[in-house]
A and B are shown apart, each in its own frame.
Chain A
Amino acid sequence: MDIERRQLAWEVVRLRYWQHLVNEGLKEGKIPKVPVHVAIGNEAIAVAICNMMQPEDELALSHRNMAYNLARRGEFGPVYREYLMEPTGVAGGKLASMNLTQPELGIVYSSSILGNNVPVACGLALGKQTLDEPGIVIALMGDGSIEEGSFYEGLVFAKTHGLRLLMIIENNDHSMSSTVAQRRCPISVGDMCAAVEVPFRQMRGNNVWKYLDNVQDARRTVHEGGPMCIEVFVEALTNHSGPTPFGPSDPKNLSLDNGLIVEQSPNDPVYVVEQSIPTSAMAEMTDRVFAEKSVEETP
């Protein structure tokens, strides 16, 4: 296994472990005040995007930004302490979770309001264009955000002005606790994009290596030709926010005691990694993350 392939696998595994740690903290009531949205199941796309990003790129996230903040940071403690509102958190304890940014790492904006980050991302991209700066802007959203008018407005605005904007829709079939079928008619994002001549692609399967190839290709498209939209299908392996399970009646029974993998299927990015690399490599990575210091000991 080459170094790059191994590194991506490691980042997915490590990110899963860190999110498990946050979930365990939520279950134990160690994050009592701040609403936190764990994104177990989103590791493949998060790692792919974070590895695609060049130093000049900028990321505008949603409230479910944990995977990206952890993956970009590459360490657990400062992000976790931010959820505890401690001064040693990555934002000095001022932002906590849903609005967490790390401008020094390219995460310049995060919004807790669905669709809100699309217009802001358009402004960031317009600013890049005006200042003749290189790089692209990536706006991350969920399947709930595409119900908002700002998503359509952003498509039109970005296309009209040729903005270097990559829109990533993490479709986990949920907005809070409602599935798409429970709340609305289906939306063909491809047709919406086609209506305004914005390139569109779908990704599924949680293969981080293929995802990276795809988003690198998308980045080239955006850099050379203007906006593009990718809908990536992810599984909501955790609850909307707070701990999973939220109580004894919750069928989602996540526990780090059961190992890193939550679902033995391609819905789970860590399962996909396990199926794609040598058994010994996976065992070594698993041992390595579990050997990390505890939350309390993490610097």
Chain B
Amino acid sequence: MSGDLVSRAQLVMLAETLGVPAERIRHLERLGADHLRGLRERISDQLFDEQAAIFARMSRLAPLVPNGLVAKVSQAIVPPLVAGRAAGALGVDHPGRAKGVLADLSPRYMADCAPFLDQRTVAVLAPNIPPELLIPAANELMRRKAYVTASWFLDYATPEALLDLEAGIPDKAGLLHTTSLVQSAERLNQIIRLLPTDRVAVIVRTAIGSPELLTAGLSLLARLDPELTADLGDLLFEELDGAGLTEVLRTAVGQGAVLELLVVAASVREDAVRRIAADPYVTELDTVDRFLAEAAEHDEWDGLSRVAEHLPAELAARVAEGAARARAKAS
């Protein structure tokens, strides 16, 4: 499921690059996040490069037009597709003016243009843009639930900008959604390590707010380095009373996030594993069989093995037999 969430995000970004609804290319989701990203980046690069001559000429217009007029005219008549496409080229050629123009643009217009920016120029420009100019647009993206677009910027934000953005975005649930969609696990770990633990804790705890948030939360936790998964997973489980834990486990199964749950269970502390194993929903035969099927499908046994150590004897035996069968079949 974590892979699915990230793949889905990459699919949405590819669809935005092509200017079609995601449904139109839904069949490409099977390519997976890495392939979809490679495909999108190459198509995006080509769409920009084909217009390089026009962007270069537009760039030469810049000295004729004051910042205020650029912003005013853009918002009045330039569609976001064009403004987003041109912004990168103009920003790279005139880095000193990017701040001035952005300061005059409305957050809504900036959010409209965001999906159409050239990723290569964002990487160059991002370090020089003061976060206070981007935070209103980031909050607008959160308001629109445009988490896929927002996640893209996390790839390029500097450490300082990440800290400022986190502090400037009050919608912590939106931040959880956004962070869970960061494509590279390495980058995701960097981001989580960079943010102070107490702030990450606030974000992770929002996971119990809804089934979608829980899926995002488990997806995020499952992609972290094991010690981070342990620390943050414990924080999440500490939030839950007995009924809350049952609800989370039920939701994980219902949302197709069992694999993530098992990965998290492989890392959290013993107390959390005992609580999972003692939960009345987990001790149902159907649930154990579902866990077994997921573990077998993904060859992910550590979490289930830990849980099984604390299950009633007959269920533990069922897990052991299922695991042995799956491994024999695989070998």
Pair from one complex: no
